[in-house]
Amino acid sequence: MASIMFYLLSLILLTATLLCIFQRNPVHAVLYLVLGFFSLAIMFYLLGAPLVAAWEVIVYAGAIMVLFLFIIMMLGLAPQDRPEGPGWQRWLPFVILMAAVLACTLVIIALDPAATAQGEPYSLGPQDFGEALFGKYALAVQVVSFQLLFAAVGAYNLGRIQRGKGKP
Amino acid sequence: MNWLDLLALGPHVFLVFGATSLLLLGAWCSKTRVILLSGIFVSLLSALLSGIAPPVDGDIAGLFSAGGYARFFTIFWFLTAAITLMISVRFSIELNLNAGEYVALVLFAALGMALLSSAIHLLGLFLGLEALTLAFYVLIASNRRSELSAEAGLKYLLLGAVATGFLAFGIGLVYTASGSLHLPEAFQGLQAEDGHLRAWGLLGWGLLLTAVGFKISLVPFHLWTADVYQGTPSPVAAFLSTGAKGAVVAGFIGLVISSGSAWKDLSDLLWVVAALTMIFGALGGLPQNNLKRLLAYSSIAHMGTVLVGILCQTPTGFSATIFYIVVYVIANLGTFGVIASFSRAGEEPEDLDQWRGLGYRNPLRCTVLTLLLLSLAGLPATAGFIGKFAIFHAAIQSGLVSLAIIGIISSLIAFAYYLKVVIVMFSPESQADRPSPGEPLEFGVLAACTTAVILLGLFPGPLFDLISKILP
């Protein structure tokens, strides 16, 4: 059961990613990416990483994609003119894929509410995760946080308008 | 992480603290020269610290090595950062750069190089590589008056992102097949006879090599090099062509040494890549009339030669490669240093026409450039010749005779474009625009690079001894 669902979700993930790449409208592309993240989250859950699954939804699908949408709207990148044809045709693939993802979620909840299919040896709880991250890989976390700091500094350095400092 | 790890990381921590403090100093102090000089001081002091720190047994948090090899490259990259800052002083004053950010990013890139060279864990390798690439995305675009600089930054960003994707996916597949990210085990796991995942592991290894190929511009992945070099300000280009590539090579040598026989599966492929890279680097440079583009092709050719040394898969080959990298870094820093010393307010003499007759008006700097270019070309009695000789000698010893012959022929072809620059510099026609007279710090760098190239050319023994001692 779990492996059937895994391959089904992989198929959804691939389709959603391809649709994301080939969309002309950036807002639609972001929505397909969100869909891909949802199916990826369920795959993580099936692989015994519920925490990563939750983060995939909260951080990527939630926070980062909202940021993407926000930037697309702020820069006015979305096309203004409405394309030809009825609206449902454009939304049909998204609705079908989303329904499939939702169905997978419901099947997991219905058949396996205690998450026994994950198998004990592979399951990784939040505590193990935290210990590995801030114990064994503490140095890596430090390096990554410095990378983020310098990425922010660099982005600000390139993006700011220089006042009274020659031509920008 | 424990106190011993922290002690071994002392120089790195000092460097990062220095970088962040200078970043803050930049907010209050508007004196560009002061900030840059303190940046030079910080990187020199970090290099000194990692030189005199007591040796630490074992590794740092399982991610990085603390051995002689790691320490050698840590010192070397910190010194490279110091030299980069020395040739950036006038550039950043004239362009009114935000000195705090510039210095902090250069220092952080140096930290990434040091970490990358000492990685013994695929996660450490990834972190080090990303740290240095991230800093370079910004540094390359730092000349905001030039559209070419922005274009170069964008090109490097896009291809860097692609390379990162390859690297992350490759590491993932290697982990899938071997179940480990720690270096000797990760690749030895690929060799397990019963492993039905071996194909995936080899695919991962190949993707990893693709990422390395992007970073050091091996031939199918070299297309960004000339454009990016052309747009990048010379001081940054000096750092990009030396530190960024050299650190990737140093990290890659670490990978190859630990890979054992897993290496054999891909060595035929790399044989072709090395041959193509050397030939293309030599032929592609011939029609160039822009000095920085020409140096880009020169760096492609050099990376092909480096790959020959790595392909030998013998201690002789590895030590020849490390020697070659050291010499290449010194000569390239000096070459870009000369270009930077001629630059005025971000305008660099790139076109070969602008160099016409410069040798008569600025004989000293042009002589230095001639010497460094000849060392890059591999003229006997310069350090470049010793490096090339050592690599091809090691290649012939380990049976790569045809590759060595291809390398020697393409080195001879490459001579043509190095000599073209020299001939143009010392040809009689004179141009009207006057390049910058330069400043003492830049002359100091040029003097140091020249001395090093000559000394290493005449007495290469001590460095070879040192390298054979530190080889992991």
Neighbours of B209 (CB within 10 A): 22
Q: Is residue A80 part of a domain?
A: yes
**A151 to chain B nearest CA, in Å?**
7
pLDDT computed for residue B20 by the predictor: 94
- pLDDT at residue B192 greater than cutoff 80: no
pLDDT computed for residue A120 by the predictor: 53
| Chain-chain contact of A154 with B60 (C-beta, under 8 angstroms) | no
Q: Is residue A24 part of a domain?
A: yes
| Chain-chain contact of B145 with A167 (C-beta, under 8 angstroms) | yes
Q: Is residue A27 part of a domain?
A: yes
pLDDT computed for residue B167 by the predictor: 95
In percent, how much of chain B has pLDDT > 70?
98
pLDDT per position as a tens digit, B18-27: 999 999 998 8
CB-based contacts of B319-322 (< 8 A; 24+ apart in sequence): B319/B390, B319/B464, B319/B467, B319/B468, B319/B471, B320/B387, B320/B390, B320/B391, B320/B393, B320/B394, B321/B249, B321/B253, B321/B391, B322/B250, B322/B253, B322/B467, B322/B471
**B154 to chain A nearest CA, in Å?**
12
Specify the 3-state DSSP secondary structure of B344.
Answer: strand
pLDDT computed for residue B196 by the predictor: 73
Q: Which of A157, A160, A162, A165 to mutate to test the interface with B (most CBs of B within 10 A)?
A: A157
pLDDT computed for residue B302 by the predictor: 94
- pLDDT at residue B413 greater than cutoff 50: yes
pLDDT computed for residue A83 by the predictor: 66
- CATH for A60: 1.20.120.1200
pLDDT per position as a tens digit, A118-132: 555 566 778 888 888
B58 vs B358, residue with greater confidence? B358
| DSSP character string of B98-158 | -HHHHHHHHHHHHHHHHHHHTB-BHHHHHHHHHHHHHHHHHHHT--TT-HHHHHHHHHHHH
* Helix residue spans in B313-362 (DSSP H): 315-342, 358-361
Which run of H or E residues covers position B314?
none
Specify the 3-state DSSP secondary structure of B182.
Answer: strand
| Chain-chain contact of B138 with A155 (C-beta, under 8 angstroms) | yes
In percent, how much of chain B has pLDDT > 90?
60
Q: Is residue A14 part of a domain?
A: yes
Q: Please count the structural domains in chain B.
A: 1
**A162 to chain B nearest CA, in Å?**
10
- pLDDT at residue A66 greater than cutoff 50: yes
pLDDT per position as a tens digit, B324-372: 999 999 999 999 999 999 888 778 888 888 888 888 888 899 999 999 9
pLDDT computed for residue A22 by the predictor: 87
| Chain-chain contact of B61 with A166 (C-beta, under 8 angstroms) | no
- Alpha-carbon span B468 to B245, nearest angstrom: 22
* Least reliable range by pLDDT among A89-98, B281-290, B325-334, B461-470: A89-98
Neighbours of A101 (CB within 10 A): 21
What count of Cα atoms within 13 Å lies in the side-chain half-sphere of residue B284? 22
- pLDDT at residue A115 greater than cutoff 60: no
Q: For residues B88 and B53, is the Cβ–Cβ distance under 8 A?
A: no
- Alpha-carbon span B122 to B135, nearest angstrom: 20
**Angle at which helices B198-215 and B245-259 cross, to 10°:** 160
Q: In this structure, what token pair is assigned to residue B302?
A: 């050099």
**B411 to chain A nearest CA, in Å?**
39
Q: Which of B24, B108, B121 to mutate to test the interface with A (most CBs of A within 10 A)?
A: B108
Rounded average pLDDT over B272-286: 92
A91 vs B370, residue with greater confidence? B370
In percent, how much of chain A has pLDDT > 70?
83
Q: For residues B407 and B278, is the Cβ–Cβ distance under 8 A?
A: yes
pLDDT computed for residue B84 by the predictor: 94
A164 vs B436, residue with greater confidence? B436
- pLDDT at residue A168 greater than cutoff 50: no
Identity (one letter) of the amino acid at B310? I
Residues in B touching A137 (Cβ below 8 Å): 61, 63, 123
Q: Is residue A159 part of a domain?
A: no
From residue B312, alpha-carbon distances to A93, B302, B398 in Å are 53, 16, 6
Which run of H or E residues covers position A31?
helix A26-46
Q: Which of B127, B130, B176, B347 to mutate to test the interface with A (most CBs of A within 10 A)?
A: B127
Residues in A touching B115 (Cβ below 8 Å): 143
Q: Which domain holds residue B442?
A: 3-470
Highest mean pLDDT among A41-50, B194-203, B426-435: A41-50
Neighbours of B286 (CB within 10 A): 13
Q: Is residue A141 part of a domain?
A: no
Q: Which domain holds residue A17?
A: 2-123
pLDDT computed for residue A166 by the predictor: 46
Residues in B touching A150 (Cβ below 8 Å): 104-105, 108, 131, 134-135
Rounded average pLDDT over B150-164: 92
Q: What is the count of residue pairs from A and B with beta carbons less than 8 Å apart? A: 72
Q: Please count the structural domains in chain A.
A: 1
Which of A150, A158, A168 is the closest to B134 by Cβ? A150
- Alpha-carbon span B349 to B192, nearest angstrom: 56
Which run of H or E residues covers position B179?
none
Q: Which of B138, B147, B156 to mutate to test the interface with A (most CBs of A within 10 A)?
A: B138
DSSP structure class, residue B55: P
Residues in B touching A133 (Cβ below 8 Å): none
pLDDT computed for residue A61 by the predictor: 87
Q: For residues B70 and B64, is the Cβ–Cβ distance under 8 A?
A: yes
Residues in A touching B101 (Cβ below 8 Å): 153-154, 157
Which of A140, A151, A166 is the closest to B134 by Cβ? A151
Rounded average pLDDT over A42-68: 87
Q: Is residue A130 part of a domain?
A: no
Rounded average pLDDT over A37-62: 87
For residue B182, which phi and psi values (nearest 5 degrees)? -75, 140
The chain A residues in contact with chain B (CB within 8 A) are 135-140, 143-144, 146-147, 149-151, 153-155, 157-158, 162, 165-168
Q: In this structure, what token pair is assigned to residue B306?
A: 């480096």
For residue A143, the chain B residue with the least C-alpha distance is B127
User: Does the interface predicted TM-score (ipTM) exceed 0.90?
Assistant: no
**Angle at which helices B245-259 and B68-94 cross, to 10°:** 160
Per-residue pLDDT band for A167 (boundaries 50, 70, 90) equals very low
Which of A140, A146, A157 is the closest to B101 by Cβ? A157
Q: What percent of the residues of chain B are helix, what percent strand, and what percent coil, each to the nearest 5?
A: 80, 0, 20
| Chain-chain contact of B127 with A150 (C-beta, under 8 angstroms) | no
From residue B162, alpha-carbon distances to A37, A58, B167 in Å are 20, 26, 9
pLDDT computed for residue B362 by the predictor: 85
Q: Which of B97, B101, B176 to mutate to test the interface with A (most CBs of A within 10 A)?
A: B101
**Angle at which helices B32-52 and B68-94 cross, to 10°:** 170
* Least reliable range by pLDDT among A86-100, A132-146, B198-212, B407-421: A86-100
Residue at token pair 């790691």? B70
Rounded average pLDDT over B392-408: 92
Which run of H or E residues covers position B61?
none
**B357 to chain A nearest CA, in Å?**
33
Per-residue pLDDT band for A145 (boundaries 50, 70, 90) equals very high
Sign of CA dihedral B435, B439, B443, B445: negative
Residues in B touching A148 (Cβ below 8 Å): none
Rounded average pLDDT over B255-260: 82
Specify the 3-state DSSP secondary structure of B60.
Answer: strand
- pLDDT at residue B431 greater than cutoff 70: no
B261 vs B131, residue with greater confidence? B131
- pLDDT at residue B101 greater than cutoff 80: yes
Rounded average pLDDT over A149-153: 91
Rounded average pLDDT over B294-311: 93
Specify the 3-state DSSP secondary structure of B417.
Answer: helix
Q: In this structure, what token pair is assigned to residue B5?
A: 């790890």
Which of B64, B127, B141 is the closest to A144 by Cβ? B127
Q: Is residue A48 part of a domain?
A: yes
